[in-house]
């Protein structure tokens, strides 16, 4: 995979007040009586998710209040690590930021103070819930490994891309289930599939961002690019070239994501009811997949970036509400 591997694309939140952001106690649940510093830190996390991960921000509003603080902390942590390579001009500086966040995880679990709002909320969450340090470390280490790869390195197989998607997206769902005290192997399996699907589709949506910044296509596996006649090898280096066959390659990656969503839904009847809201990110993944289909898998179609994953924010929220009410994902 290529350097500067930012996975998330920003969804621009609408300015109207449909999300009830002004009601702090609604978001904070049991943290309403906490200290002012923690409330400020949590507000920072909520705003970061709203600004940079809007489709998941709306999903989190359907969680029980007692689970929201943890969920917002995990999503905010993901944003900080996903943005690390994008907010700097020197890749070495970005890598240092990622290594700093890896160190933050160790400090949080050692109950050491870190002066950063996301770290402060994570510390509070870890003190209140049994959260696996492994998942946080795995998430940031995946970003570090991605940043450490050669500039022109691309994944050889779709399995490599799936592993990266699980490390950066499924882990968020695993930890949210833990924060809710939900112990279910079936729910974990569904979370794995939804995270993989979400990660793959977000990488596809982000391809124009990477091409404009790096001048190349980093997240199409070499095996798929070769099948589509897009792979060039020169001097021991593999590269995916731009071409009319690119939508075919995008389709192949998206089809793997589609299979993961189908597998997750096949498990739905056995998933505990309390886990269903955690798995709601299956909805934005399906929305993005449907939008890609409508645009014939042309990731450079600007309509994919309109609203929320290519549909109006209102229609997206209606879909979330429908799935939430019907206990589906």
C-alpha of 266 from chain center: 22
pLDDT tens-digit profile of 302-328? 999 999 999 999 999 999 999 999 999
Concatenated DSSP letters for 249-274? HHHHHHHHHHHHHHHHHHTGGGS-GG
Domain map (residue ranges) of the chain = 36-148, 150-328
Q: What is the mean pLDDT of residues 201-214?
A: 92
- Both structure tokens of 5: 């591997």
Q: Would you state the pLDDT for residue 254?
A: 98
pTM exceeding the 0.75 threshold for the entire prediction: yes
3-state per-residue secondary structure call for 186-239 = HHHHHHHHHHHHHHHHHHHHCHHHHHHHHCCECCCCHHHHHHCCCEEEECCEEE
- Nearest CA among 195, 73, 186, 178 for reference residue 142: 195
Q: Among the listed ranges 33-47, 123-137, 274-288, which one has the minimum average pLDDT value? A: 33-47
Q: Among the listed ranges 35-39, 91-95, 322-326, which one has the minimum average pLDDT value? A: 35-39
Q: Would you state the pLDDT for residue 11?
A: 53
Using the predicted structure, report yes or no on whether residue 234 has a pLDDT greater than 90: no
For domain 150-328, give the CATH superfamily: Farnesyl Diphosphate Synthase (1.10.600.10)
- Both structure tokens of 139: 């998430």
Q: Among the listed ranges 24-28, 168-172, 180-184, 264-268, which one has the minimum average pLDDT value? A: 24-28
């Amino acid at each position: 995979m290529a350097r500067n591997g930012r996975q998330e694309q920003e969804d621009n939140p609408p300015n109207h007040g449909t999300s009830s952001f002004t009601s702090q106690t609604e978001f904070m649940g049991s943290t309403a009586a906490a200290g002012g510093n923690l409330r400020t830190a949590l507000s920072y996390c909520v705003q970061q998710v709203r600004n940079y991960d809007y489709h998941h921000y709306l999903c989190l509003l359907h969680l029980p209040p007692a689970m929201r603080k943890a969920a917002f902390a995990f999503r905010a942590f993901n944003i900080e690590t996903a943005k690390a390579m994008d907010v700097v001009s020197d890749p070495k500086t970005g890598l240092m930021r990622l290594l700093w966040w890896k160190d933050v995880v160790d400090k949080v679990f050692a109950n050491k103070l870190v002066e950063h709002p996301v770290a402060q909320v994570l510390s509070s969450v870890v003190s209140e819930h049994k959260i696996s340090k492994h998942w946080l470390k795995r998430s940031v280490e995946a970003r570090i490994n991605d940043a450490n790869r050669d500039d022109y390195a691309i994944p050889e197989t779709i399995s490599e891309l799936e592993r990266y998607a699980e490390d950066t997206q499924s882990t968020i769902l695993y930890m949210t289930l833990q924060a809710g005290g939900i112990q279910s192997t079936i729910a974990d399996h569904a979370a794995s599939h939804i995270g993989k699907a979400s990660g793959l589709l977000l990488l596809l949506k982000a391809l124009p961002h990477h091409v404009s910044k790096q001048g190349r296509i980093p997240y199409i596996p070499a095996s798929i690019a070769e099948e589509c006649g897009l792979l060039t090898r020169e001097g021991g280096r593999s590269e995916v070239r731009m071409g009319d066959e690119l939508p075919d390659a995008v389709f192949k990656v998206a089809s793997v994501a589609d299979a993961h969503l189908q597998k997750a839904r096949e498990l739905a009847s056995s998933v505990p009811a309390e886990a269903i809201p955690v798995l709601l990110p299956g909805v934005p993944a399906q929305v993005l997949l449907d939008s890609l289909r409508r645009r014939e898998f042309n990731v450079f179609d600007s309509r994919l970036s309109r609203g929320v994953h290519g549909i109006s924010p209102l229609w997206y929220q209606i879909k979330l509400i429908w799935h939430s009410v019907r206990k589906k994902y």
